Homo-oligomer: A and B are copies of this chain.
Amino acid sequence: MTSSSKQLANTHVAAMSAYTPGLQPTEPGWVKLNTNELPVPPSPRVVEAIQSELAEGGKRLRLYPNPNSAPLRAAVAAHHGLAADNVLIGNGADDVLNLLLRTFCGPDKPAAMTVPSYSLYAVLANAQNAPMLEVTFDRSMALPGDAIAQCPAKLFLLTSPNAPTGVGFSPKDIGDIAKSFEGILAVDETYAPFSGQDCVGLLKEHPNLVIVRSFSKAFALAGLRVGYALASQEIIGLLDRVRDSYNVDRLAQAGALAALGDTDYYANVIADTVVMRDKMASWYESLGWFVYPSVANYHFVEPVSRRGERGLAVATSLYEFLREQKVLVRAFPKHALTESFLRISLGSETEMETLQKVIRDWVAA
């Protein structure tokens, strides 16, 4: 051949950057508060179900998984009071988001997102060579409903509760957007189980609505990679054409199905999360820090130095101080609305005590 592989590649791929995932340290000893994982293990039923799928020397592993994750799909449908053909199971919610971009966007079909929100959206648009329009929040982080409704995109990706702020939006306001918006409105409800409200009830009324969910956070199964879409049969049918026919493996299907069945376990986990959320919000405020009212399992906080300063340098200083003490949080230094903040996941009691101690040391330093 005479061309380099880079010359042969699609220009938009050669020009793009990959998504930068949060650090996943492999050595022990870290207090990991950077990717919003729950501090507790998944329901004991998850391991039981996976063990059962591994029975008899793992002999079932030689066989392909169910191509549609049919049992899990039916259970998700029942969980939400929908039909199986309103559900698509993905290899994580990221798989579902990617299918949305591939189905509805392209060079002449822009996607859109709010700023700030989940930065993966922009990477997925780049990979699809689709323009990404942006609707920027103001400092209140309240839903810019009119701007979203009037946005000339084919697909709007709205995170609710939002990341990294943790601010929730009311289903009523989202329904109003869906009514006016001329494209597909995908509501990424990864953190909705922590918020006490969701948009599932809007699906019947709004044929352009897609809800994206994840087993990673509220089911403590980030390691299994399972997510799903809820939408009209027509939208699910479109996404399904682009979906890989064996996108979710046997063990992940079995584990997610078992998790969904243990309602009591997860109701307790969420109740504990809410208690810890209130406690930590008060604690951050007791330091004189601004905290967005979170309905998720993390806080977006604006640290204040001992001298009363806030801003990028202050946030960076705390980020690095925490990291030196093996406490990982997440910084968003690339935008004026986020640069003075840190996103800190809710961890276990012990982890929160360590965090508080290190923050106190930083304030005192």
Contact = CB atoms under 8 A, between A and B. Distances in A.
A244 B5 CA distance: 21
A317 B238 CA distance: 34
A4 to B, nearest CB: 7
Number of copies: 2
Contacts of A92: 244, 246
A213 to B, nearest CB: 16
A191 to B, nearest CB: 15
A255 interface: yes
A42 interface: yes
Interface in A1-31: 1-6, 8-10, 13-14, 16-19, 21-22, 24, 26
A37 B62 contact: yes
Interface string A75-103: 00000000000000001101100100011
Interface residues of A, number: 94
Nearest to A120: B245
Contacts of A109: 10
A223 B241 contact: no
Contact of A98 (B24, B67, B244): B244
Interface in A47-95: 47, 50-51, 54, 56-67, 91-92, 94-95
B41 A241 contact: no
A260 B33 CA distance: 33
A299 interface: no
Given A19-B245, A21-B246, A240-B18, A58 B62 contact: no
Contacts of A216: 64
Interface string A170-195: 00000000110111100000000000
Interface string A219-246: 0111111000000101100101111111
